Structure 1
Amino acid sequence: MSQVNWNNYACRDYYDELMAAPGQPRASAGELCNMLARFSAEELAERKTAAEIAIRTMGITFTVYSEGAMIDRAWPFDIVPRIIPASEWRKTEAGLKQRVQALNLFIDDLYHDQKVIKDKVLPAEVLAQSVNFRPQCVGINPPHGVWAHVCGSDLVRDGEGTLYVLEDNLRIPSGVSYMLENRNVTKRVLPELFASGKILPVDDYVANLYDMLAAMSPRPGDEPQVVVLTPGIYNSAYFEHAYLAQQMGVELVQGSDLVVDDDDVVYMRTVEGRRRVDVIYRRVDDEFLDPEAFNPTSMLGVAGLMRAWRAGKVALANAPGAGVADDKVVYAFVPALIRYYLDQEPLLPNVPSYLCMFEDDRRYVLDHLDELVVKPANESGGYGMLIGPRSTKETREEFARLIKANPRNYMAQPTLALSTTPTLFDGLAQPRHVDLRPFILSGPEIHVTTGGLTRVALIEGSLVVNSSQGGGSKDTWIVETDDNAAAAAAKGA
């Protein structure tokens, strides 16, 4: 291990979240950079080891599927936090609220009048070929008109520092438990900096989540019975399911724990008998949610659950069918949807996109595969992507065949020079690419997490930040700064 020397930090090629230039921290990061520079090699090693021990002790794990096996691994975590000034975050928060409001109006429209299609804002063929549109949801009116109660929108910066929305996750977004645990670990490792009160807290998320779920109850006069529905211990996000249930003080259940009676009421089986369930925070995919309505072979869901939901006897979050907006082709139309439903200009830009279902776009993509990032419309976790500049000729030829065979399923974007942030390797601070996933709760009110889950590509030069493919994570600090004090701290780093 060696001592951090910011003068040697190589941040010249990309926009760096912490350092404006070697030896020059950004105004909000000066205090942190000063402290890390004062640590001896031994102190730095102790803090890093303390974080690793805390993660193992707290049981913070994630599951990787590898060659047919499921492997539980300790959560990969870097102790150097990412810092975003609160003044900038307030603008981002407003843009996220605007975006999710338009998306919920869009989903509701698709399952009712489909005005957005009739007015030719969204091409009819986009919906006609959507794999996540659920005819079983047509005509249903969820509480407050909200379908995507929990949304995780991925944000990235380009080489100039401009913030973009990369994609929206509205089916069953995961990762918020790691955001919360990252903060708990960082408080143990760097407690000195939290004493200033400048780092805004994130621990109101669980209370806001519970309040949002409780507000959906079909029995508003009674104390609601809320449960978290998990596919079980073998699901890659099981840690999060158990964590959120425990933190909210609600039951964690599997499909076999629930039953729907002849009156379309959902009950939970307990040792004391059946107990009515009002709200289900479900972490089971649509197609496995109810064998009566979707996949008849599913053992994960609850027979009759869709009947109960349609009858208004139980509330589901996220609502089945919300995934129709969780589509990388629909993503390209979100700015237009904001203008259409809200009559506002988008506050957060999309990354420029090419849709292979359109002939001109498809021709351009096929001619520039070596320059673009190509994504399937409905994959997640970073799977099924082509990163053109780092691809082989054989891979590009295979993607060309896939695009020609099913053009609706592919879109492409420029390869962004993603921003970096310092990450420790053998005591040296090295730049690694990052993204950010804030979580937005939609109910009677809209709440955005203070920051979000920063994911970091631990492999040098990699743009893939997903933990399932070698990525890690950091705590994200939204920092209120006194400009003069911050400038002084940055100067002294």
Structure 2
Amino acid sequence: MSKLDPLPGLSPYPLHHFFDEMFEGERIVRPHYSHVNRMFAGMSPGELQAKQVLMQRRMMEEGITFTLYNPSQIQPMERTIPFDMIPRIIPREEWEKLEAGIIQRVTALNLFVHDIYHEQYIVKDGIVPRKLIIANRYFRPEMAGLRVPGGAYITTSGIDLIRHSDGQYYVLEDNLRTPSGFSYLFKGRSLMNQLFPELTFQNAIRDVDHSINRFLSVLRSLSPSHTSDPVIALLTPGEYNSAYYEHAFLAQQMGIHLVEGRDLVVQDHKLYLRQMNGLKRVDVLYRRLDDDFIDPLAFEPNSLLGVAGLMNAYRAGNVAIANAPGTGVADDKAMYAFVPDMIRYYLKEEPILNNVPTYLLSKSDDRQYVLDNLSDMVVKETSLSGGYGMLIGSEATRQEMDEFRLKILTEPERYIAQPIMSLSRAPILSEGIMSPRHIDLRAFVLTGSDRRPHVIPGGLTRVAMKEGSLVVNSSQGGGVKDTWVMS
């Protein structure tokens, strides 16, 4: 390891008790960051600031945006997602363990979803409580006994990981319905190649571009028609959705149709795309809206976003839907606590990656412990994501804690709690100054009909842009970094 070369004119980089991805001990640079450190140390604050401005300009020109929704604002605010230029770097050996643990986890989750909608062996054997399934808002009785085209329930998943102060990785959440962030991963690498070609090409980094082709291959593999060139469409809620840029980006990159519900119609239990010259049969629908809205005849009757009769076409085996309806039963935050047991049950293996210790507030002992230690806990509503419906005890006011205490006592089954974890930090450049921020890692997994999960190398590092904050979600103002896996 080498001593940190202080960046000219920059403030000292403070060291605390958090695990730092780039530095160790008394400002010792970790070996895999040595090239990155030397390059940024050789640039003046003015040069760094100019690069940042150029980066933001490129993102604005390409429309790389995310929409923030604030209850105090009448209109949602569209902005470029903050992108930090200092990459997050993961050594090869470290990534190989992460990759194996992620594949193990997603494999077990796919088996679990199939089991829940068929024999329910895991419930009959007392591993997962039946009440947890039946009361789950994402459980879809309509999926019971249904043969899923391609056999993969969870085609796309985003597994959120953190590194604690002990240096170990923990799984924080499983996102299995309509995970987002793919576009920021691919565009982040593209922008780094443009702005820092000398940096990205001088380091042996795992390629991510081929994963776009893998994404397309996975979707093709689900086609029930088994044609050599199946018709694939990406169903978006429309341009006002917070992740619309990603929908458009993925459709363009994969060469598939970008559609809204009004562009589709079901006839004779088959799904068709409306075109100027008539109807075109759709084989695979990659949907980016939740179950409730995909078919007004099956779920939310007032939905204007979906396609009437889609579930009938799906039941008839004439179209594949990715992800399959009902996968949310496995990414409910209460279900998360049972994933290690699922791995042991279905795979007969010990989990490679640990969960964060989790308290189910429906259990009286867990509930009392959490209420007695609320200031040291993160409390989450089981069915929400994106940083919503959450209390971080160490940052909460007395009034906020009292309000959550009442919510827990009123509907304890709606909440889980976890101890506040010391998310690892990585440096960001803020107005030319290197400053530490907390980060996590969203690993993206693609699973096709062969049931062999593919983990996109590196995934997306999410950054809490506010100093000291632990909230990294884009919907809460978080940013992103390019993530390198060394090869």
Tell me the TM-score normalised to structure 1 length: 0.95
Moved more, 414-423 or 464-473: 464-473
- Deviation, structure 1 residue 6: 8.7
What corresponds to 1:165 in structure 2?
171
Render the CA deviation track for 1:66-117: whole Å, top value 9, x for unaligned: 2231221112111111111111001100100000000010001110111111
1:129 aligns with 2:135: yes
Moved more, 194-203 or 372-381: 194-203
Distance 1:388 1:314, change over 3 A: same
Question: How many pairs does the alignment contain?
Answer: 478
Task: Tell me the equivalent position of 1:486.
Answer: none
Is the partner of 1:81 in helix, strand or coil? strand
**2:419 corresponds to:** 414
Q: Which runs of 4+ in 1 moved over 4 A?
A: 4-7
Q: TM-score, normalised by structure 2?
A: 0.96
Helix, strand or coil for the counterpart of 2:375?
Answer: coil
Spell out, residue by residue over 1:452-489, the C-alpha distance to the aligned partner (whole angstroms, 9 max, x if none): 11110111100001122121111111113xxxxxxxxx
Q: Which amino acid aligns with 1:406?
A: E
Of stretches 31-40 and 327-336 in structure 1, the one that deviates more from structure 2 is 31-40
Taking the aligned partners of 2:318 and 2:354, their CA distance within structure 1 comes to 39
Select which of 449, 456, 465 maps to 1:449.
Answer: 456
- RMSD value over aligned CA atoms? 1.4
Shift of 1:171: 0.6
Aligned to 1:61: 65
Match of 1:35 in 2: 39
Query: Is contact 1:79-1:189 (8 Å) kept?
Result: no
Q: Is the counterpart of residue 467 in structure 1 residue 474 in structure 2?
A: yes
Answer yes or no: is 1:343 the counterpart of 2:348.
yes
Q: Is the 8 A contact 1:102 1:341 kept in 2?
A: yes
Residue 3 of structure 2: aligned partner: none
The correspondence for 1:401, drawn from 406, 430, 444, is 406
Query: Does 2:244 align with 1:238?
Result: yes
> 1:4 deviation in Å?
5.1
Does the CA contact (< 8 Å) of 2:273 and 2:279 recur in 1?
yes
**Where do 5+ consecutive residues of structure 2 fail to align?**
1-5
Residue 151 in structure 1 maps to residue 157 in structure 2: yes
Partner of 2:19: 15
Q: Is contact 1:6-1:22 (8 Å) kept?
A: no
CA contact (8 A) 2:68 2:477 kept: no
| Cα distance in structure 2, aligned partners of 1:148 and 1:243 | 21
Q: Aligned runs of 1:160-239 on 2, under 5 Å? A: 160-239=166-245
What SS is found at the alignment partner of 1:164?
strand
SS at match of 2:160: strand
Determine the structure 1 residue equivalent to 2:271: 266
Distance 2:279 2:428 in 1: 51
Q: Provide the secondary structure at the position in 2 that maps to 1:68.
A: coil
- SS of the residue aligned with 2:438? strand
2:336 maps to 1:318: no
Quote the residue 1:101 is aligned against: 107
| TM superposition shift of 1:3 | 3.8
Using a 3 Å threshold, how does the CA distance of structure 1 residues 5 and 418 change in structure 2: closer, same or farther?
A: farther
Alignment partner of 1:26 out of 5, 25, 30: 30
Give the Cα–Cα distance (whole angstroms) in 1 for the partners of residues 90 and 276 of structure 2: 49
Structure 1 residue runs of 5 or longer lacking an equivalent are 481-493
| In 2: Cα distance, 1:296 partner to 1:142 partner | 24
Deviation at 1:42, TM superposition (A): 2.6
Give the stretch that moved more between structures: 94-103 or 221-230.
221-230
Question: Which AA in structure 1 matches 2:284?
Answer: V
- State the SS of the aligned residue for 2:321: strand
Secondary structure, counterpart of 2:185 in structure 1: helix
Please state how far the C-alpha of 1:44 moved relative to its aligned partner.
1.5
Partner Cα distance (2:265, 2:227) in 1: 23
Q: Distance in 2 between matches of 1:24 and 1:8?
A: 13
Shift of 1:187: 1.3
Partner AA of 2:221 in structure 1? A
Letter of the structure 1 residue corresponding to residue 254 of structure 2 = M
Higher deviation after alignment, 462-471 or 164-173 = 462-471
Question: Which letter does structure 2 place at the counterpart of 1:274?
Answer: L
Q: How many angstroms apart in 2 are the aligned matches of 1:98 and 1:326?
A: 16
Percent identical residues = 49
Do structure 1's residue 253 and structure 2's residue 253 form an aligned pair? no
Structure 1 residues 397 and 307: alpha-carbon distance in aligned structure 2, compared to 1, 3 A threshold: same
Alignment-derived partner of residue 52 in structure 2: 48
Cα distance in 1 for partners of 2:26, 2:193 equals 27
1: distance between equivalents of 2:309 and 2:348? 39
SS at match of 1:233: coil
SS at match of 1:8: coil
Q: How many angstroms apart in 2 are the aligned matches of 1:93 and 1:285? A: 27
